[in-house]
């Protein structure tokens, strides 16, 4: 009996820890704590980090996180390679800048309209996906991005040309005047939370499953009854909507927008951030944003070699971790 009992005891010992961890992971209290503690840390961060320089870097991380999560919806979930994402970012920025400085609109209405206008242009550019695919669609997005930049640079009467629109006033939302780096941090955090929640709901819906099916095998998805052309147009427009929100945030944060803010290099940097973090995983691109932003800042002193080092990081990730640093099912929405 004793050997049997010992054997039985060993079997229990071998299964107690995994079962306990699984049970703990499913515990509502554990889940709530796992969400609330990081959220509390984010809320308290400006009170701990008082250096405005570092807080400014974090604000740009939040900005790129919104951009890259929207781009990840297009690239990671629908499999559409877009190298013109900076153009929709610019549409949002110029929409807010023009409406605030020339039409007297409030920031909240500008924010909404910036997202809607970027969405509409995204749908218009997405229409050719019915006939243009793969590399040709990628070239189409590059062309759109360059056309947007050149128009913004040449249309001096409307966009003020290469000088851009300057003197964008300090935004206010429901009496809250957003002036300091900490204020912009909280504004960005609200926008990032909105982006995260809405994208999480989307990718876990039937629409999200349809996007993934199109990415995996477009022909099989169409055989299953999914209207692939319509879904690709929808996903492209939604991804661009978030770029419009980010552009609106940029306009009031920098108090200026210029064509140089929305070059092809910006679109390439966003693509790199998404790939480094992990395509097709909802929150993984945020890791890519943090890594690439810190790398950019750390090597700012040797700017002539900075892009070379960033390229090396990109190649290393593609060679040793092609799915991205956090491109695993654990991070999927």
Choose between 249 and 138: higher pLDDT: 249
Question: What is the average pLDDT score of the chain?
Answer: 83
Q: Output the CA–CA distances (angstroms, integers) from residue 229 to 44, 123, 128, 138, 240, in the order listed.
A: 45, 11, 9, 16, 17
pLDDT band at 10 (very low <50, low <70, confident <90, very high): very low
- The pLDDT value recorded for residue 303 is 67
Q: What is the pLDDT of residues 145-178, one digit of tens each?
A: 999 999 999 999 899 998 999 999 988 888 888 8
The pLDDT of 220-235, averaged and rounded, is: 84
Q: Is residue 8 part of a domain?
A: no
**Which residue range forms the structural domain that includes residue 106?**
51-263
The neighbour count for residue 52, using CB atoms within 10 Å, is: 13
Q: What is the pTM of this model?
A: 0.85
Q: Is residue 95 part of a domain?
A: yes
Q: Is residue 98 part of a domain?
A: yes
The pLDDT of 243-252, averaged and rounded, is: 96
Q: Is residue 257 part of a domain?
A: yes
**How many distinct structural domains can be found in the chain?**
1
- The pLDDT value recorded for residue 250 is 96
Q: Is residue 93 part of a domain?
A: yes
- What angle do the packed helices 228-254 and 52-72 form, to 10 degrees? 170
Burial of 139-152, coded b for 16+ CB within 10 Å and e otherwise, reads ebbbebbeebbeeb
Q: Is residue 234 part of a domain?
A: yes
332: three-class secondary structure by DSSP: coil
Q: Name the least confident of 22-36, 109-123, 314-328.
A: 22-36
With beta carbons less than 8 A apart as the criterion, state whether 228 and 214 touch.
yes
Choose between 232 and 61: higher pLDDT: 61
pLDDT band at 220 (very low <50, low <70, confident <90, very high): confident
With beta carbons less than 8 A apart as the criterion, state whether 191 and 242 touch.
no
Write out the E strands in the chain.
165-166, 172-173, 176-177, 256-257
Q: Say if residue 129's pLDDT is above 90.
A: no
Choose between 66 and 283: higher pLDDT: 66
Q: Is residue 37 part of a domain?
A: no
Q: Is residue 224 part of a domain?
A: yes
- The pLDDT value recorded for residue 128 is 79
Q: What is the pLDDT of residues 62-108, one digit of tens each?
A: 999 999 999 999 988 888 888 999 999 999 999 999 999 999 899 99
What's the burial of 153, exposed, middle or buried (CB within 10 Å: 0-12/13-18/19+)?
Answer: middle
What's the burial of 136, exposed, middle or buried (CB within 10 Å: 0-12/13-18/19+)?
Answer: exposed
Write out the E strands in 38-194.
165-166, 172-173, 176-177
Q: Say if residue 5's pLDDT is above 90.
A: no
Q: Name the least confident of 167-181, 295-309, 319-333.
A: 319-333
């Amino acid at each position: 009996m004793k050997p049997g009992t010992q054997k039985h005891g060993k079997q229990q010992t071998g299964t107690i820890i995994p079962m306990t961890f699984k049970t703990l992971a499913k515990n509502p209290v554990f889940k709530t704590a796992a969400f609330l503690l990081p959220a509390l840390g984010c809320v308290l961060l400006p009170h701990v980090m008082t250096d405005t320089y570092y807080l400014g870097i974090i604000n740009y991380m939040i900005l790129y996180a919104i951009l890259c999560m929207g781009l990840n919806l297009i690239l990671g979930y629908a499999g559409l390679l877009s190298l013109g994402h900076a153009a929709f970012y610019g549409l949002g920025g110029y929409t807010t800048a023009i409406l605030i400085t020339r039409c007297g609109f409030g920031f909240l209405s500008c924010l909404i309209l910036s997202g809607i206008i970027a969405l509409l242009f995204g749908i218009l550019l997405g229409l050719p996906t019915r006939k243009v695919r793969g590399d040709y669609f990628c070239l189409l997005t590059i062309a759109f991005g360059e056309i947007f930049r050149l128009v913004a640079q040449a249309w001096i009467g409307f966009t003020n040309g290469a000088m851009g629109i300057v003197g964008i006033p300090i935004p206010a939302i429901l009496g809250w005047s957003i002036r300091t780096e900490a204020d912009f941090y909280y504004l960005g955090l609200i926008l990032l939370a909105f982006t995260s929640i809405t994208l999480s709901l989307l990718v876990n819906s039937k629409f999200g499953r349809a996007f993934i099916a199109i990415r995996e095998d477009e022909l099989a998805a169409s055989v299953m009854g999914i209207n692939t052309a319509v879904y690709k147009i929808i996903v492209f427009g939604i991804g661009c909507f978030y770029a419009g929100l980010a552009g609106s945030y940029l306009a009031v944060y920098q108090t200026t927008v210029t064509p140089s803010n929305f070059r092809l290099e910006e679109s390439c940097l966003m693509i790199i951030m998404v790939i480094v973090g992990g395509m097709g995983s909802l929150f993984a691109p945020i890791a890519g944003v943090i890594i690439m932003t810190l790398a950019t800042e750390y090597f700012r002193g040797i700017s002539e070699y900075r892009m070379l080092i960033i390229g090396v990081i990109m190649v290393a990730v593609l060679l040793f971790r092609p799915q991205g640093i956090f491109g695993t099912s654990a991070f999927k929405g």
